Structure 1
Amino acid sequence: MRKPESGRSVLLYCDKELTSLVRSSLNNVTVIDCIGMENSTLREILEKEAVSQNGRAKNREHLCYAIFNGFENSTIGSTIKEIRRLLQKECVFATTTESNLNWKLEDLLAELTEEHDYFKKVRRVELEE
């Protein structure tokens, strides 16, 4: 897998301008712009193997996605805070697992969106009670 000195990567699915902002602000972290890589697995993206830029970006502009790879649990929280500060828009966060490394990015984004929407609805119902 491609690894910066610290071995940490963030797979970012967001617009180009915000991706550039995150890339320039996070030190010792490889920020990978995943737009267009929807048909590749996370493993392929991280390893730069046969990654196609011919994916079909779906209309997810209301959300940004940040998927962490190689982070210690103790550093994820501060990195999430920094990304939220930089993006100032709704963002979905996840980490890689042995299982999801073999998922196509498109499938993982769909799953993350479904989970995000579910928990957002649950929170809204809890606030109404």
Structure 2
Amino acid sequence: MVASERFLLFHGFTEEELHVLIKTCKTLFPDKDLVFAVTTETNMQWKVSELIEEVLKEHEYMKQQKGV
């Protein structure tokens, strides 16, 4: 992770709540590269370091797809 990235892991929220939380975070921290993750049955079994590594790979891939 680079210094400007912030990793947020959400657990137990509804889809509607997640949309509100993500939008709010992006509004509050517009100059930060926010990385979002939501717990799943699968990733709840992973070590936190494994989860962060996988989510960061996905985040970088998505940024490349958007041309960011």
TM bucket (normalised to shorter chain) is: 0.7 to 0.9
CA drift of 1:70 comes to 0.5
Structure 1: unaligned runs, 5 residues or longer: 1-58
Instruction: From 3, 24, 47, give the equivalent of 1:82.
Output: 24
The residue aligned with 1:62 is: 4
The residue aligned with 1:91 is: 34
Identity, in percent, stands at 34
Q: CA deviation digits over 1:30-86, x for unaligned, max 9?
A: xxxxxxxxxxxxxxxxxxxxxxxxxxxxx5422111111010111111111111222
Q: Which has the higher contact order (CA 8 A, sep 6+)?
A: 2
More helix by share: 2
CA drift of 1:97 comes to 0.5
Amino acid at match of 1:100: N
Provide the TM-score with structure 2 as the length reference.
Answer: 0.84
Amino acid at match of 2:65: V
The residue aligned with 1:41 is: none
Structure 2: unaligned runs, 5 residues or longer: none
Amino acid at match of 2:55: L
Instruction: From 58, 62, 68, give the equivalent of 1:119.
Output: 62
Aligned length: 67
Amino acid at match of 2:26: R
Q: Which of the two has higher C-alpha Rg?
A: 1
Provide the TM-score with structure 1 as the length reference.
Answer: 0.47
CA drift of 1:87 comes to 2.6
